[in-house]
Structure 1
């Protein structure tokens, strides 16, 4: 039943196929069938509906953890503003939900932040826009956006909004399609069929002087090995198989706990019928009488026998933590971002290398995001008549991921001297010792000094 529901649900969430998209646009599009399949797969993984998920194997939501960790690291110290106060207020309002939406963009490979009129913007993930062509800079020069509305029980309306250039100037047109099947775009109809779209100019409308797209486009800084195009690739694409293994390992751990629950095997002769219900059962026993009662028939046959197998959870946990560390390495996170930091038995050099790896990936994401936000501000300026106003946009990221190790050591020594940090905490951090060992070593040092 669960698998059947998943198949139906996936059918509702899938992007239209390549042939349908080509027919809508009227020509070939960059978004290939392979990319459509990959985007659908990434989306299924992010919603806990990956192909390997069953009643037995549940998603550990590692994909969410990866996207959340990167988004937090990218944005935690970001400072950005626009020099014109009116434009800055609109911009700040537009990026209020940037973190949660960037997480989706990281997971699906790309993201568009598109102004809606003068005072707000919307976030559009890769499953809802169609890259038709890209420029040499990797930004779309022709793109379509899909908005789907369901009206009544079985009526689906899809608005296709296309942005492209005519003689170097931005041109926008809108079309509407009606279908009674969410997986089929159906036939073209009037925009007036949907009340909210009735006032939209179908166009095409060209805006002289606007020589760039009116939105910000973000793409993950990862080479596309799905189809080789300029389309964005998920931040966790390289760790897809490892995530699958981790989910399955998590299921093994759950089963170890479930199957290892203590049980009592009861001989049929010990069961008695309940006078009220007629059901067979056994009288409640004191917990200390688990091991059983023997019949006085000379055979010493037990009526009750305890089942309490030894647990192997430590081995399963170690395996799961190892998968998590391999995932961290593959996607560019530091050790301990996903895995248990207490279980990370790495040298100081390895830890520093992992931090450098994360720093480099986060910096690349920040550079692409800055370009996206710069173009977003241009779009907001365009819709507010301020495109040629001479506004200035500032965006800075303060990087705290990579801290010089010796500087950090010196600060920790000062904290120990001032009493803000315990000596054993210093040893545990810098000598990779557990709490018990660190305290023992500190005590031994104190004895030597005395």
Structure 2
């Protein structure tokens, strides 16, 4: 594990409610329950879920869920700003949006924040603290944490706070020093860190800026953890099913490992190497032959084969069923995680699963567009173009349902060519058995067939 990851684990350990309240000087929206949930999601994404052991490895299903949603959402998106001076830094900022969106989906929320000079950063939920929210679910007071190590044991934490005062945006910066990465320590001047010496501690009020200077994205999922406006992981509801799938995967691995063919060799058949004093059989596979005292009588055979019957098909079915349960819970279509060849669903069920995925993707797209629109406002603010009359354009296509319609159109062509029967077409697209479809066909079609 690298230094950077260790330092951010220190930041996450600082995210205790009492510590945050002391830093901010007031109650914060990020409750202890949410802090624990975010840490849990982060561990799952890192392949360190609490149920994993030496014998149970992560299948990284969490990554698969986040990657699938991010790929579909961003493959459908086209966005730009009407003024080139803003569009260039905007396009640069979203060039790496896919991987960052995956993290945001996994941790429930993220902030896309302009830094000035055409730069931007995406901050995931484990690196900022929402202090309060407005009625629209967007932060009205928020703190960003930046950790810097100087030398071997000096840790500096910058707390950058954005909030509203008298309807105007206010930004302040504070610095803390500690010799323990898990403790924020005591207040100190920003000048103690070379990179921060030119930062204005503030508070600085920006009159006329009546919205936050960044975009905030939150998953379109109701927060049943603490009821706040904090975002919830896209895979939170499927946590127990992901645990079940990891267990099924480990059972399948063990079935293959324990079921390896072996030859039990009586000690009488082994020869001792004079150089090493070890017993063995020349030119034979070490995994295949195992020394064992089989002698029960002089006439008993020296070799016995161990070749148990594998039960892998049963474990495979169990794993695929767990994956399909996850797909249903998180809003993916059947076959996105599971083996599409193993999906024994009717056409109606498959169609419904695609519609379910479309609905979830569509909800994510609306939230993302709102985030990008606010980010563009922040970008315009830092480029002194907030009132320039720029236009932000964002468009998403409907590839999920479009692909289904394309498939349906192809089937219609197959019917007209005689490659597919009317009954087969009806059975596939109306969710009927072949017998039911045949009984419901118009008389002329039955005659034609």
Give yes or no for TM over 0.5.
Answer: yes
CA 72–167 in structure 1, closer or farther in 2 if over 3 Å, else same: same
Cross-structure match for 1:174:
173
CA 420–49 in structure 1, closer or farther in 2 if over 3 Å, else same: farther
CA distance in 2, matches of 1:143, 1:8: 21
CA distance in 2, matches of 1:142, 1:230: 13
Q: CA deviation at 1:413?
A: 4.5
CA distance in 1, matches of 2:7, 2:86: 44
Cross-structure match for 1:32:
31
CA 417–156 in structure 1, closer or farther in 2 if over 3 Å, else same: farther
Q: CA deviation at 1:417?
A: 7.8
CA distance in 1, matches of 2:150, 2:275: 55
Cross-structure match for 2:210:
211
CA distance in 2, matches of 1:147, 1:338: 36
- Secondary structure at 2:59 match in 1: coil
CA 157–226 in structure 1, closer or farther in 2 if over 3 Å, else same: same
Instruction: Count residues with an aligned counterpart.
Output: 423
Find out whether 1:399 has 2:401 as its counterpart.
no
Cross-structure match for 2:443:
none
CA 155–419 in structure 1, closer or farther in 2 if over 3 Å, else same: farther
CA distance in 1, matches of 2:134, 2:310: 58
TM alignment of 1:396-435, pairs within 5 A:
396-403=395-402, 408-414=407-413
Q: CA deviation at 1:18?
A: 1.0
Which string of whole-angstrom CA distances, capped at 9 and with x for unpartnered residues, describes residues 193-235 of structure 1? 1111111000000000000000000000000011000000000
CA distance in 2, matches of 1:45, 1:297: 52
Gaps (5+ residues) in structure 1? 433-448
Cross-structure match for 2:442:
none
CA distance in 2, matches of 1:344, 1:224: 31
- The 8 Å contact of residues 264 and 304 in structure 2, kept in 1 or not, is answered as yes
- The 8 Å contact of residues 15 and 40 in structure 1, kept in 2 or not, is answered as no
- The 8 Å contact of residues 10 and 183 in structure 2, kept in 1 or not, is answered as no
Cross-structure match for 2:440:
none
Gaps (5+ residues) in structure 2? 432-447
Cross-structure match for 1:442:
none
CA distance in 1, matches of 2:101, 2:337: 19
Cross-structure match for 1:98:
97
- Secondary structure at 1:116 match in 2: strand
Which string of whole-angstrom CA distances, capped at 9 and with x for unpartnered residues, describes residues 402-441 of structure 1? 13856532324537989999xxx99998799xxxxxxxxx
CA distance in 2, matches of 1:240, 1:366: 24
Cross-structure match for 1:341:
340
Cross-structure match for 2:68:
69
Q: CA deviation at 1:296?
A: 13
- The 8 Å contact of residues 15 and 128 in structure 1, kept in 2 or not, is answered as no
- Name the stretch that deviates more: 264-273 or 210-219: 264-273
Q: TM-score, normalised by structure 2?
A: 0.88
- The 8 Å contact of residues 15 and 36 in structure 1, kept in 2 or not, is answered as no
CA distance in 1, matches of 2:175, 2:295: 85
Cross-structure match for 1:303:
302
- The 8 Å contact of residues 10 and 44 in structure 1, kept in 2 or not, is answered as no
Q: TM-score, normalised by structure 1?
A: 0.87
TM alignment of 1:40-439, pairs within 5 A:
40-284=39-283, 299-403=298-402, 408-414=407-413
CA distance in 2, matches of 1:113, 1:9: 19
CA 101–269 in structure 1, closer or farther in 2 if over 3 Å, else same: same
CA distance in 2, matches of 1:50, 1:10: 15
Q: CA deviation at 1:11?
A: 6.2
- The 8 Å contact of residues 264 and 306 in structure 1, kept in 2 or not, is answered as yes
CA 176–428 in structure 1, closer or farther in 2 if over 3 Å, else same: farther
Cross-structure match for 2:441:
none
- The 8 Å contact of residues 156 and 179 in structure 1, kept in 2 or not, is answered as yes
CA distance in 2, matches of 1:297, 1:195: 79
CA distance in 1, matches of 2:341, 2:64: 18
CA distance in 2, matches of 1:255, 1:38: 31
- Secondary structure at 1:334 match in 2: coil
- The 8 Å contact of residues 347 and 428 in structure 2, kept in 1 or not, is answered as no
- The 8 Å contact of residues 116 and 122 in structure 1, kept in 2 or not, is answered as yes
CA distance in 2, matches of 1:296, 1:167: 91
- The 8 Å contact of residues 16 and 183 in structure 1, kept in 2 or not, is answered as no
- The 8 Å contact of residues 216 and 373 in structure 1, kept in 2 or not, is answered as yes
CA distance in 2, matches of 1:141, 1:286: 67
Q: CA deviation at 1:363?
A: 0.5
CA distance in 2, matches of 1:415, 1:179: 71
Structure 1 segments, 4+ long, off by >3 Å, are 6-15, 283-287, 295-299, 403-407, 412-421, 425-432
